[in-house]
A and B are shown apart, each in its own frame.
Chain A
């Protein structure tokens, strides 16, 4: 799934970066030809967009659509069904030791870490203002604003550009909603949960997607 998106992303962002690099690295007399190159690349990019190329926003929306769907399917059709409704297997934070299902948040994080290992050019994480693991509390301004926004946005996402360690990112935050009883009961009962009054349909946190858009 990520491979075509990645190639589209690279074809969209990379030419601009490379062209800019070439322009500024070139000696003055070569700049006119570099400008021509940039113009050519941008023309090509424009053509690409006209043919249905994607913006970081479209890419983030597409990635999130996949993440959210998989997450809902796992939470409802696997964990909630088997652990809560049919009670044939437990779901546990220590799923290996307990021979149990990984919790939905762990399932999501394991995927995010595997994507991070592949270094394909974007990262994503699950975050909350009421995190069980304090490391997942918002830290950057974009995360704080994004989580505040999606809490009351009626499903709409938040996006902003932010700079981290000298790199500019398109950062999008999407609401993460309690879609099954398992979400609500587990968080309300967990000893490390700072909030114990979640209800079905509540926004419990957000998915943060970051796409680098230049230095």
Chain B
């Protein structure tokens, strides 16, 4: 056999074995894929790095294919955040010169993947002075901005590329005088309606129930809503056969908790499940985690347990059971934690306490106006000013909130103490503010108006 034929044979055999290995089951497939990941994936996408086709939707899809994949997961969030730099701003031919310098039509221009050596905060892979490409004249237009550092536009409390809902000038003016603290105004959760009468009666479910499980269920919101064993432990297949589900997962929970499941899938806790990968392992979180938690995995039951579905446990205990960073460890000594303890002890009114979930899994309104718990823990972070409007302002004024969020050391101490930073945007905005804000100007008679 000629040497070239031998090499060809070895290559063909190797390819065939690799292909068979890749296709021979999820576990093996994932092992094979692990070998193929070119360099470490950003922390944001880490949980789904083995779902290659989540981003690489088809071979040679090109930049538009990749962009479609980005928007498949992120479009809704960008729209909700009133994205300040949507693609449509850059597809206008008049911006061709700018696009040639920074092609902001594509997410990957600033958020490239598998390039850990140049990935910094927020998964940005551009140098921090990218704003200058289009906004170099800002120093001429705003006296307050003259001489500012060229890489400081996105400093805490100033500007974000995408979401500026808490930072736009008139919003700062409107809230510049807010007090540090006001009466809590946390939205109230609404019970999720349940109509008994699932696939069949409970008698067809061959499951045994321990006394402990029975007691846990009897005191749960599920029992109060009339949800029996069959509600979670029975499912109807596509062909209509009723089957017993021993350990219900998110696919069952989402039948009633659709908003919670949808947002859980969008966050780091649930995105692996959304891509039909095994649930995220705590050990793979890429964050400081407790040793004893490293073997755990993330699904609904991880935080909510089974049968008792205790919201109290999911508020803080479940989080600190795994997370072990400075911010988490500092929580118990914070004012927030004391308020949370008072609320749970019943000495302070419901809604007055602060728990991990208050800020990281806040209550929010769905499109149809229902209040639910946002289960995407990242939605109020990265950058953390996203938390100012959706969470902090429920109890604090905007100036205090932005100062606190801008103080990284204070964040690490879990807000024990006062902000050591001061966001200057408020004074700059107030100095430029007209006596009558633009929102009110339209009903102000203009010169020449008929009396």
Which chain B residues lie closer than 8 Å to A92 at the CB level?
Answer: 438-439, 442
Q: Does B325 contact A (CB under 8 A)?
A: no
Asked if A8 lies at the interface with its beta carbon under 8 angstroms from chain B, I say no
Count residues of chain B with CB under 8 A from any CB of chain A. 34
Q: Which of B69-93 contact A (CB under 8 A)?
A: 82, 86-89, 91-93
The interface centre, meaning the residue of B97, B171, B433, B446 with most chain A CB atoms within 10 A of its CB, is B446
Q: Which of A100, A114, A139, A167 contacts B439 (CB 8 A)?
A: A100
Residue on A with the closest CB to B449? A181
A97 within 8 A of B: yes
Q: Which residues of B contact A139 (CB under 8 A)?
A: 94
- The answer to whether B439 and A93 have CB atoms under 8 Å apart is yes
B402-451: which have CB < 8 Å to A? 432-434, 436, 438-444, 446-449
Q: Return chain B residues, CB-CB under 8 Å to A117.
A: 87-88
| Interface assignment of A186: CB less than 8 Å from any CB of chain B | yes
* 0 or 1 for each of B79-118: is its CB under 8 Å from A? (1 = yes): 0001000111101111011011000000000000000000
Binding site secondary structure of chain A:
mixed
- Whether the Cβ atoms of B94 and A165 lie closer than 8 Å is no
Question: Are the C-beta atoms of A184 and B438 separated by less than 8 Å?
Answer: no
Cα separation A97 to B100 with both chains bound (whole Å): 35
**Alpha-carbon distance A83/B88, docked complex (angstroms):** 29
Which of A38-46, A48-56, A187-195 is near enough to bind chain B?
Answer: A187-195
Question: Are the C-beta atoms of A91 and B446 separated by less than 8 Å?
Answer: no
Q: Which of A123-137 touch B at CB < 8 Å?
A: 123, 125, 134-135
Query: Given A98-B439, A189-B436, A181 and B446 touching (CB < 8 A)?
Result: yes
Interface size class of A (residues with CB under 8 A): 35 or more
C-alpha spacing A93/B434, complex, angstroms: 14
1/0 per residue A66-109: CB within 8 Å of B? 00000000000001000110010011111011101000000000
Name the residue in A92, A143, A200 with the highest tally of chain B Cβ atoms < 10 Å from its Cβ: A92
Count A-B contacts at CB 8 Å.
Answer: 96
**CB <8 Å contact, A210 and B93:** yes
| A123–B92 touching, CB < 8 Å | yes
A169 touches B93 (CB 8 A): yes
Q: Which residues of B contact A119 (CB under 8 A)?
A: 91
On chain A, the residues within 8 Å of B171 by CB distance are 94, 97
| Interchain CB contact under 8 A, A165 and B93 | yes
A119 to B90, CA, bound (A): 12
Within 8 A of A (CB), among B135-170: 137, 141, 168, 170
Q: How far is the CA of A46 from the CA of B448 in the complex (A)?
A: 54
Closest A residue to B168 using CB positions: A94
Contacts of B441 in A (CB 8 A): 185-186, 189-190
Q: B93–A123 contact, CB under 8 A?
A: yes
Contact indicator A191/B442 (Cβ below 8 Å): no
- Which residues in B have their C-beta under 8 angstroms from that of A140? 94
**Which residues of the partner chain B approach A90 to less than 8 Å between Cβ atoms?**
439-440, 442-443
Cβ of A200: which chain B residues have Cβ within 8 Å of it?
448
Q: Does A113 contact B (CB under 8 A)?
A: yes
A134 pairs with B137, CB closer than 8 A: yes
Which positions in A face B, CB cutoff 8 Å? 79, 83-84, 87, 90-94, 96-98, 100, 112-114, 116-117, 119, 123, 125, 134-135, 139-140, 143, 164-165, 167, 169, 181-182, 184-186, 188-191, 199-200, 208, 210, 212
Chain B interfacial positions (CB closer than 8 Å to A): 82, 86-89, 91-94, 96-97, 99-100, 134, 137, 141, 168, 170-171, 432-434, 436, 438-444, 446-449
Which 5 pairs of residues, A with B, have the shortest CB-CB distance?
A: A185-B446, A165-B96, A92-B439, A113-B88, A116-B88
A-B contact pairs, 29 of them (CB 8 A): A79-B442, A83-B443, A84-B442, A84-B446, A90-B440, A91-B442, A94-B170, A94-B171, A94-B439, A100-B439, A114-B88, A119-B91, A134-B141, A135-B134, A139-B94, A143-B94, A164-B96, A165-B96, A167-B96, A181-B446, A181-B448, A188-B447, A189-B436, A189-B438, A189-B441, A191-B432, A199-B448, A208-B94, A210-B93
